[in-house]
Structure 1
Amino acid sequence: MLTKGDDFPLHQTPEPVAYAGTDRNFYDRYFFNGYAPDGSGFFAVALGIYPHLNVADAHFSCIRNGIQYNLHASRELNMERMDLSVGPITIEIVEPLKSLRVRVNGEGLAAELTFTGRAFPIEEPRFTYRIGPRTFMDYTRLTQNGHYTGWIEVDGERADLVSGTVGTRDRSWGVRPVGASDTQPHGHGVVSSFFWQWTPVNLPTRSLFFHVNADRHGTPWNTRAVIAPDGAGHDGFHETPSATMQSPMQPGTRWPSGGTLTIQCAERPLTLTFEPLQRFQMRGLGYTSPKWGHGLYHGPLAVEREDLVLADLDAMAPTLENLHVQIISRVTTSDGETGIGGFEQLVIGPYEPWGLKEYFDAG
């Protein structure tokens, strides 16, 4: 089937753009988040395309007065990958790798948000991970910090983004578990687990990115830290795999209660301290959501609003839907800077360095 994408030089295989190899779990995703300099006014957006499932979905979230407002939308893709609208949520690429715009209007939630990057996006190391014989992940991601302008409206109350609103956006594509879960066991003695931390930080004149994926024994299988000065091009970054995070958990949860990140730089180590300001539940964007998980089929078009009182959520709910969080944090550095950033964490299953032996162990 030919689609709009076939008139652009985008092809990676001899097939039309509508087809993306043969893995049913192939996906293509946009993510955004933003927040005021004091950590207030948080919002986030995601849009995903799943070519082999013929599904597109999108989500918008914002937090006001302890309530996380979420808008979920899903539709049939109809094999057209160039249409970046899912019901009431639309993404516009204003200038590739530099500026994008999000529009939202549905179920009492509305927004217009324009993102402008602070530097060229970083390309993270390719994520390839297997559980036993099965490929669990195989994808590439670009990440970029930036400034936002625009407004958000909740039930008729519109608020402009304050000056200095910053955040992060990313694009990833490849293979992740999407759509209906594969319930077949991985094999006798194969125990699945997942450990992820990600800390994109906005400092006054530069951005800092750190991530780590580790196995159940604590051995990293993908990690890197990058410092990106404002205005830097693709060759203007400082990159190192020599970075470590110390991060205690909040009691009774698998959420971080802050952390200390140490990055080995040429002259001396750079230390960053994270002080939590606000918690965002990633289920608002479909991550770990039992109903609105990525790629699930909801028919030709489905739209739903979901309001969460953050203080009432069970951190260790049996459905695991509340494990995945972003903690917006004030960040101070050992060389005297103060900034703000996100501390994203998802820990599923055993993780020996923290004494987590079962799926439902808490800190």
Structure 2
Amino acid sequence: MLIKFDDYPIHQTAEPLSYAFTSERNFYARYWYNGYDFNGEFYIGIAFAAYPNREVMDGAVSIVRKDGTQESFRASRRLRGDRTELYAGPMRHEIVEPMRTVRVVVEKNDTGFECDLTFHANTIAHEEPADHMKQGVRTVAQMKRFTQFGKWEGWIVVGGKRQEISAETTYGTKDRSWGWRWTGEPERGISRDQPEQFFWLWAPLHWQDRCTHWGQHEYADGKRWKEFAQVFKTHPIRTDFDPLVESDVAEAICGAHRLKFAKGSRRVSHAEIDMLHKDGRKETFVLEPLLRYHMIGTGYNHPEWGHGFYKGEEAHTLERWNINDLDINAPRHLHMQQVVRARNGDKVGVGVLEQYITGPHERYGMKGFLDPL
């Protein structure tokens, strides 16, 4: 099956671009974004992805507010080959200018959820180290991603309530990834592709004159299998800068972390993370949570609307809950991001701390798969 981009010299195999290079069922390509108010009044999560070997394209927009209400719109359609047509039901993902501007629209529909949101990059797009995860002798994840910081503007309407989004006060991150990992309906049998132990921390932070990027995966003994840290130069949005100039990013070393947890849970209530620079300097970022967002809102660990679930030719839905009513220790709720106030000496910033912590971790006294502290 040919698509219009087959006219470009960009093929990686001797097949048209509509054919994936692998028959791996969990092969995917995803856009993921967050957006949040400087004072933590709201947080928006957005996901949009293609799963060629599952014949699925799906997306979600979810917003949580200071009062704890979280509303999640989801859409899905059958994918018939051309992955460049980025829509699912009333939801569209428009690449206005590659690696600069993206527009996410949910047209008026029967759920009462609508939005028109535009992401303006204010840093370059930076390639991260690859993820390569094994479970025993089996490879369960192999993927690549790039990260970019930016600001949001637009609006969301849900239940007749309109939320204005201003680029003056709404910050965010773009996470573009592809490869394969656990997606779709859970596997059957003894060996499943979901990892048995996971300790992931990610902290993209906006400061007045730069952005900092810090993340790491650890095994139960604290040994890291992936880590990264960078400092990004920022640019005013809508200005002419090259989004691929790597000299805008200074590599650093992902240092230590010191975490405190909310009593009776694995939710981080206070964090200190270190960034080590090549000139010998050490910076410590102190992170205080302002607002919690559960990643189930954009499909992570959702039992019915998980990533890549086949929902038929076309489907969309709206789901509502209050985060204060959730069982925070339930497996589906352990993956979360929190809007954080960031401090570095007298400097103040904003960002998120993402965490996904399951299974044992010796340093913090976690022994079972889900046992709270």
SS of the counterpart of 1:359? coil
Q: Distance in 2 between matches of 1:212 and 1:104?
A: 34
Q: Distance in 1 between matches of 2:2 and 2:223?
A: 45
Who is 1:213 aligned against? 217
1:294 paired to 2:307: yes
* Native 8 Å contact 1:133 1:186 kept in 2: no
CA RMSD of aligned residues (A): 1.7
SS of the counterpart of 2:296? helix
Which letter does structure 2 place at the counterpart of 1:74? S
- Which string of whole-angstrom CA distances, capped at 9 and with x for unpartnered residues, describes residues 45-75 of structure 1? 1011101111111011012332000011111
Who is 1:62 aligned against? 63
SS of the counterpart of 1:247? strand
* Alignment partner of 2:338 out of 327, 333, 336: 327
Who is 2:13 aligned against? 13
In structure 2, relative to structure 1, the CA distance for the partners of 1:191 and 1:101 (3 Å cut) is closer
Q: Distance in 1 between matches of 2:9 and 2:289?
A: 44
Q: How does 1:31-70 map to 2 (within 5 A)?
A: 31-64=32-65, 65-70=67-72
TM-score by length of 2: 0.92
* Native 8 Å contact 1:134 1:186 kept in 2: no
* Native 8 Å contact 2:231 2:252 kept in 1: no
5+ residue gaps, structure 2? 236-242
Who is 2:164 aligned against? 160
Who is 2:240 aligned against? none
Q: Which moved more, 1:5-14 or 1:61-70?
A: 5-14
Q: Which moved more, 1:346-355 or 1:78-87?
A: 346-355
TM superposition shift of 1:235: 2.0
1:178 paired to 2:179: no
TM-score by length of 1: 0.94
- Which string of whole-angstrom CA distances, capped at 9 and with x for unpartnered residues, describes residues 217-276 of structure 1? 221100011110114832221112342221222122221112001111224211100011
SS of the counterpart of 2:246? coil
* Alignment partner of 1:303 out of 309, 312, 316: 316
* Native 8 Å contact 1:5 1:81 kept in 2: no
* Native 8 Å contact 2:77 2:311 kept in 1: yes
- Which string of whole-angstrom CA distances, capped at 9 and with x for unpartnered residues, describes residues 89-125 of structure 1? 2111111111111111341111111111111011110
Who is 2:296 aligned against? 283
TM superposition shift of 1:356: 1.7
* Native 8 Å contact 2:93 2:102 kept in 1: yes
5+ residue gaps, structure 1? none
Who is 1:196 aligned against? 200
SS of the counterpart of 2:260? coil
TM superposition shift of 1:41: 2.5
SS of the counterpart of 1:52? helix
Q: Distance in 1 between matches of 2:25 and 2:17?
A: 15
In structure 2, relative to structure 1, the CA distance for the partners of 1:227 and 1:281 (3 Å cut) is same
Q: Which moved more, 1:53-62 or 1:36-45?
A: 36-45
TM superposition shift of 1:315: 0.8
Q: Distance in 1 between matches of 2:297 and 2:195?
A: 28
Q: Distance in 2 between matches of 1:71 and 1:289?
A: 13
Alignment length (residue pairs): 358
Q: Distance in 2 between matches of 1:245 and 1:18?
A: 43
Q: Distance in 2 between matches of 1:8 and 1:177?
A: 31
Who is 1:101 aligned against? 103
* Native 8 Å contact 1:247 1:258 kept in 2: yes
Q: Distance in 2 between matches of 1:355 and 1:340?
A: 29
Q: How does 1:243-282 map to 2 (within 5 A)?
A: 243-265=255-277, 266-282=279-295
Who is 2:89 aligned against? 87
- Which string of whole-angstrom CA distances, capped at 9 and with x for unpartnered residues, describes residues 11-38 of structure 1? 2222221222221111000011111211
SS of the counterpart of 1:321? helix
TM superposition shift of 1:191: 7.9
Who is 2:369 aligned against? 359
Q: Distance in 1 between matches of 2:182 and 2:112?
A: 31
Q: Percent identity?
A: 36
* Native 8 Å contact 2:148 2:173 kept in 1: yes
SS of the counterpart of 1:350? coil
Q: Which moved more, 1:10-19 or 1:265-274?
A: 10-19
Who is 2:126 aligned against? 122
- Which string of whole-angstrom CA distances, capped at 9 and with x for unpartnered residues, describes residues 287-345 of structure 1? 0111111111111111111101110000112xx111110010000113x2111001000
Q: Distance in 2 between matches of 1:191 and 1:139?
A: 15
